[in-house]
């Protein structure tokens, strides 16, 4: 009954179904991998973001090369800002609004220098391509609490004087003309003593898992449904072939078609009887009764 499945036509259908299902599995696994990355990031945020700050001595190796598990860890730093090295980073949207970030070298009492991202500024209205004002960092010795962040890759585009295309720490160091610790930078959490005028602080990263799991399950379901559809089409083909075979046998034997075949055919319409005679029929009946 299902020997037609071995025909080139149906083998081609099966191959297409297998290719489609394989693509669905690939996309489903890709969504699962993205979900795993998201869950790992959520774990880092929940573990490190609000934890007690550690000292620079404990975080020195991360400023040289950041361990991914230590991202968002709070670190307490003591030193002073190098105001002359302050830069703004271009194209930094926040909550859907375009703007900039303000980065400043921070010279530690130990002699090393790290980069602190002090916050976000909206685009300006007075001078195109620049914020209207950039709050100056506090002068003198301060204590800053920062959260560790990976440096960013270089971008194939330039930036005007006093600006950076990305937080590319080696390029920033070359621009300043003195060494920076390039394994990580710090996103500012607090300064002591506090500054009266500050850039907008960064919000806490999202800890929502998102829709990766539901998308993954949908792709897996699509792959299964492709084979379900293939099976349904094969079953319908087998039923039609069986009906055709029964009709052929009945025709060869000179008999009536099988019940299944007869049921599959459309019966000719039966003329309905009129409930009321027409006017012509009523007139003919009266004449007949009078003997005409």
Query: Per-residue pLDDT for 7 more than 50?
Result: yes
Query: Per-residue pLDDT for 209 more than 90?
Result: no
Query: Per-residue pLDDT for 249 more than 90?
Result: no
SS (H, E, C) 159-215: CCCCEECCCCHHHHHHHHCCCCCCCCEEEEEEEECCCCCCCECCCCCCCCCCCHHHH
- Which range among 62-71, 173-182, 186-195, 237-246 shows the weakest confidence by mean pLDDT? 237-246
pLDDT of 181 = 96
More confident residue, 274 or 148: 148
Q: Average pLDDT for residues 108-130, to the nearest whole number?
A: 91
Of 55-59, 257-261, 266-270, highest mean pLDDT: 55-59
pLDDT of 159 = 86
Taking the C-alpha atoms of residue 158 and residue 165, their distance in angstroms, rounded to an integer, is: 6
Taking the C-alpha atoms of residue 93 and residue 101, their distance in angstroms, rounded to an integer, is: 9
Largest CA distance in the chain: 135
Taking the C-alpha atoms of residue 64 and residue 123, their distance in angstroms, rounded to an integer, is: 32
**Distances 170 to 71, 95, 115, 164, 174 between C-alpha atoms, Å:** 19, 28, 11, 12, 6
Architecture of domain 50-192: Beta Barrel (2.40)
Q: How confident is the model at residue 79 (pLDDT cuts 50, 70, 90)?
A: very high
Query: Per-residue pLDDT for 266 more than 50?
Result: no
Q: Average pLDDT for residues 242-260, to the nearest whole number?
A: 71
The whole-model pTM stands at 0.68
Taking the C-alpha atoms of residue 270 and residue 132, their distance in angstroms, rounded to an integer, is: 88
Contact 173, 118 (CB under 8 A): no
End-to-end CA distance of the chain: 70
* % residues pLDDT > 90 (the chain): 51
* % residues pLDDT > 70 (the chain): 86
DSSP 8-state secondary structure symbol assigned to residue 97: B
């Amino acid at each position: 009954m299902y020997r037609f499945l071995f025909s080139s036509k149906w083998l081609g259908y099966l191959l297409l179904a297998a290719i489609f299902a394989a693509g669905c599995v690939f996309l489903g696994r890709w969504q699962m991998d993205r979900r795993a990355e998201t869950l790992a990031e959520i774990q880092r945020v929940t573990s490190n973001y609000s934890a007690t700050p550690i000292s620079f001595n404990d975080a020195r190796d991360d400023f040289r090369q950041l361990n991914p598990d230590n991202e968002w860890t709070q670190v307490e730093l003591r030193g002073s800002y190098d105001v002359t090295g302050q830069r703004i980073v271009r194209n930094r949207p926040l909550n859907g609004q375009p703007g900039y970030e303000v980065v400043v070298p921070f010279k530690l009492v130990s002699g090393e220098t790290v980069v602190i991202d002090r916050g976000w500024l909206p685009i300006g209205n007075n001078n195109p391509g620049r914020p209207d004002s950039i709050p100056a960092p506090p002068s003198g010795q301060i204590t800053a609490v920062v959260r560790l962040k990976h440096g960013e890759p270089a971008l194939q585009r330039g930036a005007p004087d006093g600006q950076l295309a990305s937080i590319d720490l080696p390029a920033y160091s070359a621009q300043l003309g003195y060494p920076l610790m390039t394994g990580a930078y710090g996103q500012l959490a607090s300064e002591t003593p506090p500054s009266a005028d500050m850039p907008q602080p960064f919000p806490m990263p999202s800890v929502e898992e998102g829709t990766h799991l539901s998308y993954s399950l949908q792709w897996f379901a699509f792959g299964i449904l492709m084979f379900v559809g293939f099976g349904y089409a094969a079953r319908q083909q087998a039923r039609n072939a069986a009906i055709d075979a029964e009709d052929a046998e009945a025709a060869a034997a000179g008999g009536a078609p099988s019940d299944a075949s007869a049921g599959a055919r459309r019966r000719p319409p039966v003329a309905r009887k009129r409930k009321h005679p027409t006017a012509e029929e009523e007139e003919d009946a009266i004449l007949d009764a009078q003997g005409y």
